[in-house]
Structure 1
Amino acid sequence: MAFLIDSYQSYALAGPSELDPVFRKTFVLVQKAHFRTANIARLEAAIRVYAALSGLNPLREDILKKLTPILLHPFPRVRSSAAEYLYMMTSLETVKYENWSASPKELKGKVDGLRDKLVTAN
């Protein structure tokens, strides 16, 4: 799914599209698909779809708000994956050089600071 969304973006025009409601619905369905799951593959797939959807300006802010809390997920692999895609979307050095294998308690303050940066940037 992430590949298809990425492919669409390369052909899309900069203006509003009639497919925007479809992508909004996709965003909601992806949220429901990984809600309260411990399935790492499902979580990583959701992160990849979020990354692809982040290229669409109407959804970008919602995507960043959704990915930032995933940086505090209990599984380090999920945190690292979310950080990797957040870095590709934002190019923030804070995301690149942080040790995402540390415990969520240690990362909480840094994630809150990152969330503030992302809110002011958008």
Structure 2
Amino acid sequence: MTIILLIVDTSASMAQKTYLGTSYLDVARNIIDALQKQRMKDVATRGYDRFFLITTEEYPNCIKSGWRESSAVLHEQLKRLRPRGRGSISDAFMNALKFINVHRAQTGSYVRFTVCAMCMCALFIY
């Protein structure tokens, strides 16, 4: 089973518009949707992926979707994301690392890390 941990910046700056008229938060949503659809197309990973969604809100409100929940919950939570406040991406990374460390200690799994700087969306794949 692969757990893909997504960190999305939901600070007010994500309401900025691109040259196409979409907000940066919409770009992040589209990237996550494309990632999930691509993973579903791959026969080797279909049905084995779990997604964990964390935002830049304060703990515990930052946890939007856990890895035990379905992809429908992930999509619903993605739709509900709104840019507001002054979220700290560093705090979101720290929260994510805490969750990863607990899960890694319980399961003995390893972690790969990728960041999409354009949309402030991070992926922890383990």
TM-score tier after normalising by the smaller chain length: 0.3 to 0.5
Structure with larger RCO (C-alpha < 8 A, sep 6+): 2
* TM-score relative to the length of structure 1: 0.32
TM-score, normalised relative to structure 2: 0.31
